[in-house]
Structure 1
Amino acid sequence: MTDVAVLGAGMHPWGKWGRSFVEYGRVAARAALADAGLEWRGVQSVVGAGTVRGGYPGHVAGAAFARALGWQGARVASVYAACASGAHAVAAARAQILAGQADAVLVVGADAAPKGFFAPAGGDRDDDPDWLRFRLLGATNPAYFGLYARRRMAVYGDTAEDFARVKVKNAAAGALNPLARYRKAVTAGEVAASPVVADPLRLLDVCATSDGGAALVLGSMEFARARGAADPVRIRAVSTVTPRYPRTVLDLPDIATDSGCGTGPGPAGAAVPFRASIARAAYEEAGIGPEELSLAEVYDLSTALELEWYEDIGLCGPGEGAALLGKGATALGGRVPVNASGGLASFGEAVPAQAIAQVCELTWQLRGAAGARQVPGARVGIAVNQGLFGHGSAIVAVR
């Protein structure tokens, strides 16, 4: 048995609050502990998802959060995996529980993001992929979001109107989420009228940078049952696979591994695109397929990227994402709602927190506690993300 129970989930609302990431994490942690009905002193371990922009406390996030909650002897660990940090923190906590090292583990991620584009965090150095992209190529994140969008337009015939429909869908869901930063429905016309950021993507096609925090209390199934939780939400699989590159490019600068480049493991050694391999590894570990999903939370840095995730997680074939969206299949009330939370379109990026926030949403949905955005009868969900340096991120939750 590889299941671990989600005993509690909590978040600090996303926004621009002007406070330390540690404060956001402390609030989220307290909310998750309250949801679990567990005192802080009952936690044996804390795993913090790191933020390199948070200075020294960001590099030792586990200890920073433990200190903020009050030293009580718990072991600590800190995990940094860029945008996949939250999923890697969940993986570390799950490993501790399955190894019998702890009955209850607190996982926390939080960020206080700067306004505008993310700047390189490592300084001017040629082993920093951000520096290489930003300074040598002039490619801030929206630049390659735009390249992705142009490729889909050229290869699959996607249109700017297709991309706008993603934003309209996610904004409608986010308007129902009290934790979201942007709680306002938008129209396709409003998307089209917003300023161009990286052609063909406009301001409302691209997610913002945000402050926010998210936390989970994970426990062994035995611990959950002993506390009266007979049927808790369970994390059944966590995928943190890395890409594979042809040997001919191994010596080239590693500047695009957060962009879905490269391939990953597939059946009988066959290569599959990196993002698809992230989800495939999670499906294989969980023993399920995409046809069993009730909902999905995906990493919508841009509207065009969400369409690609539909294909990568197996909701449809390559190039069919826009058609699936057009049928309403991924909207609330559709066959497999995607980003019922509102996604990054409604929250923005709080990097170490976002993969944890995705699991919070899955937890509330699988409990039937998501309010006006509830997916009826939700039983299986997947959360997918990915991080710079080739960090995979997929989590399957079931009930």
Structure 2
Amino acid sequence: MTDDVAVLGVGMHPWGKWGHGFVAYGTAAARAALADAGIAWNDVASIVGAGTVRGGYPGYVAGATFAKALGWQGARVASVYAACASGAQAVGTARAQILSGLADVVLVVGADSAPKGFLRPAGGDRPDDPDWLRFLILGATNPAYFGLYARRRMAVHGDTVDDFAQVKVKNAALGALNPNARYRRRVTAEEVSASPVVADPLRLLDICATSDGGAALVLSSMGFARRHGVTEPVRIRAVSTVTPRYPNTVLDLPDIATDSAVAVEPGGETFRASIARTAYEEAGIGPEDLSLAEVYDLSTALELQWYEDLALCGEGEAAKLLREGATALGGRIPVNASGGLASFGEAVPAQAIAQLCELTWQLRGDAAGRQVAGAQVGITANQGLFGHGSAVVVVR
């Protein structure tokens, strides 16, 4: 298809707590992606950086920061911030430049050096920041509303704490096979249940950590890929960065029952479902065409929610899909073959890019022990705060 963009190279800096600044991780990932593509930095026409507000001024101008670290060479530069969707927005910007003819080769980079503990809103009191308002007015840190989502699933759909634990068991087993993952140890459901309660019903092992890490992509036009000798590259076919639609305009807390005695069915399409639908429509595929998916498992319960939002199953059927083994390696539709955030932790601006690295390795057949057999089509999904959609479809 003429609207496809080639993924020529991918690279990552392993996730962990390394004690360095985000620039070191992003630069390492960028150099790995360039080497993977067989492209010199001087051949890159544009660089798009996914921003991190925790990196100070260099984080706000991430594109220029990475360009400087790699060595000024005159490339176009752009910086994108969209919270958890920053990486997908950066990919969307790069794709637009390529399809418009502004650049043949674009480097996309995201990296973070995350604080220990909760991710706080940056810059002190910010009454115009939904994060800050949620923390101050509701006392709802991220784990608190993860817990609310989990309780709602239990009340409406009958999910159990063991279902949530089994998501962690699945993802930890896959993360143990991934050299870039921070946590590379299998866990049992009993270990999940024995870990400390953080936000009932979720325990410590149900919730992702914060991490340092970096990821990068070298994207190009299909014409450049062919001239470069790559005749059948992994291709990006759709990028969905949609915003919510009225009346679903309350960001972040859309369908949560704040009265614990009340849990109601949501009305109409959820924001996350609209992100996925838009990606499917642009790519000209449906969920039945997918080989695998990488989703943003901020908590185990939220991974189950993504199954339904991606239409991998009907509403309320996510736990059944999990119990049948459909989302495990070897199942009908493996989800988070990388190990997910359960195994990586969250390095916010890098995460959506890392999801695409995983899908690229999978579609190339280079995912070693976690390889999904015959992978041909994959989708990524996450949701950035303040109404940022994020889903990308890749094909082989």
TM-score (norm 1): 0.95
Query: 1-side partners of 2:124 and 2:395: how far apart?
Result: 42
Q: Deviations over 1:101-122 (max 9, x none)?
A: 0010000000000000111114
Q: Which amino acid aligns with 1:319?
A: G
Q: Which residue number corresponds to residue 351 of structure 1?
A: 348
How far off its partner does 1:273 sit? 0.8
Q: 2:284 aligns with which of 282, 287, 291?
A: 287
Q: Deviations over 1:179-237 (max 9, x none)?
A: 00000000000000000000000000000000000000000000000011010000000
Query: 1-side partners of 2:53 and 2:123: how far apart?
Result: 8
Q: Which residue number corresponds to residue 266 of structure 1?
A: none
How far off its partner does 1:271 sit? 4.7
Which runs of 5 or more residues in structure 2 are unaligned?
Answer: 257-266
Local SS of the residue matching 2:88: helix
Root-mean-square deviation (CA, aligned residues, Å) is: 1.2
Q: Does the CA-based 8 Å contact 1:258-1:391 persist in structure 2?
A: no
Q: Deviations over 1:98-141 (max 9, x none)?
A: 00000100000000000001111142021011110111211000
Local SS of the residue matching 2:244: coil
Q: Which residue number corresponds to residue 224 of structure 2?
A: 223
Q: Which residue number corresponds to residue 260 of structure 2?
A: none
Query: 2-side partners of 1:111 and 1:271: how far apart?
Result: 36
Q: Does the CA-based 8 Å contact 1:243-1:261 persist in structure 2?
A: no
Change in CA separation of 1:362 and 1:259 when aligned onto 2, cut-off 3 Å: farther
Q: Deviations over 1:152-173 (max 9, x none)?
A: 0000000000000000000000
Local SS of the residue matching 2:171: helix
Q: Give 1:1-399 correspondences, 5 Å limit.
A: 1-246=2-247, 257-259=251-253, 271-399=268-396
Q: Which amino acid aligns with 1:140?
A: T
Q: Which amino acid aligns with 1:151?
A: R
Q: Which residue number corresponds to residue 265 of structure 1?
A: none
TM-score (norm 2): 0.96
Q: Which amino acid aligns with 1:363?
A: T
Local SS of the residue matching 2:269: strand
Query: 2-side partners of 1:339 and 1:67: how far apart?
Result: 34
The structure 1 segments of at least 4 consecutive aligned residues displaced by more than 6 Å after TM superposition are none
The count of aligned residue pairs is: 385
Q: Which amino acid aligns with 1:161?
A: D
Identity of aligned residues (%): 79
Q: Which amino acid aligns with 2:187?
A: V
Which runs of 5 or more residues in structure 1 are unaligned?
Answer: 263-269
Query: 2-side partners of 1:385 and 1:231: how far apart?
Result: 27
Q: Which amino acid aligns with 2:161?
A: A
How far off its partner does 1:245 sit? 3.0
**Greater shift after overlay, 124-133 or 348-357?**
124-133
Query: 2-side partners of 1:19 and 1:146: how far apart?
Result: 32
